[in-house]
Amino acid sequence: MAPVAIVSDTTHYLPRELADRERIHQVSLYVGWRDESRRESDVSDLAAFYERLGSEPETPTTSQPSIGDFLAVWEPLLEQGMDILSVHLAGGISGTCEAARQARDMLTERGLSERVQVLDGETGCGGLGLLLLAAAAAASNGAQLDQVAERVRETRKRMKVWFCVDTLEYLRRGGRIGKAQAWLGGTLRIKPILALEYEITPVERVRTAKRAFERMVQYAEELAHDGLDGWAIQHIQAEEQAQRLAGHCREIIGGEPLFISEVGPVIGTYTGPGLIGVGGIPRTMLG
């Protein structure tokens, strides 16, 4: 029975050391201005990226990995005798998962496609990171490919993630606003609270940053109530708020976070600086 390798794309934004420790492999998306497109994994100065995002009128372009990018990561793993579970960013906002499926189809003639499963995570960022940690835990405990995939599906059903952004402007500019489109008829001077499911999904609107933070704390209480004690926090250029929220989560949910990390350029292009989010899964999914 073959061991299972976990592959994703760069939009999980797990801390690099955590992803490496859990042996999570990744295929990079692309981001950049005009003719400067480069791999997201090569963008190391997030502060400089977000400063330019806020000052430049042109919106960066983002693009999914190529079929060749997927094969370049998968083929060495297959040659090592491993099966692969490849879990990706929600198909409602990116073609990444579809590109992964096309790459899998390319393996059919070589008799390798049955050793690769591609799953749409129906989430992104911290939500995707949580799914990957559950997958990595199952794989490290000797689960086979179908079993690891089922662990991811079960975890996705239990998982809850919310995030707030400073403004809808970046979502409007980037065209990734999803079901929150209806909110564009009014003022953009609100603090939207959203969920990233198959697409961007509106949850509620509040008027001030103070109230948005209070709601994040209340969502942490909901995580605790639902037994989702494997919690995580992500942010964009909001480290102080993220640490404040983590302090509340320690008191409300207990334990330490699975991770606290910053969201990178591909998703950040569409949300802008100021994002803060919290989510969780049952820690039993990591057993």
Rounded to a whole number, what is the largest CA-CA distance in the chain?
57
Matching CATH topology for 4-157 and 160-286? Answer: no
**Cα 77 to Cα 81: distance, rounded to the nearest angstrom:** 7
The CA-based angle 257-25-250, given to 5 degrees, is: 0
- 170-214 pLDDT, tens digit per residue, is 887 866 555 555 555 455 567 889 988 888 888 898 989 999 999
Extended beta strands in the chain, E state: 4-9, 24-27, 30-32, 38-39, 61-63, 83-88, 116-120, 160-164, 191-196, 200-206, 230-235, 259-262, 276-281
Question: 160-286, which class in CATH?
Answer: alpha beta
Of 135, 103, 101, residue with least CA distance to 19: 135
Provide the pLDDT for residue 189.
Answer: 67
Whole-number average pLDDT of the chain: 93
Q: What is the mean pLDDT of residues 254-268?
A: 97
So where are the chain's domains? 4-157, 160-286
**Cα 214 to Cα 216: distance, rounded to the nearest angstrom:** 5
Sign of CA dihedral 119, 26, 275, 32: negative
**Per mean pLDDT, which range of 71-75, 81-85, 196-200, 279-283 is the poorest?**
196-200
Structure confidence at residue 1 as a pLDDT band (50, 70, 90): confident
Question: 4-157, which class in CATH?
Answer: alpha beta
Report the predicted TM-score, pTM, of the whole model to 2 decimal places: 0.95
Neighbours of 23 (CB within 10 A): 12
**Per mean pLDDT, which range of 54-58, 114-118, 143-147, 226-230 is the poorest?**
54-58
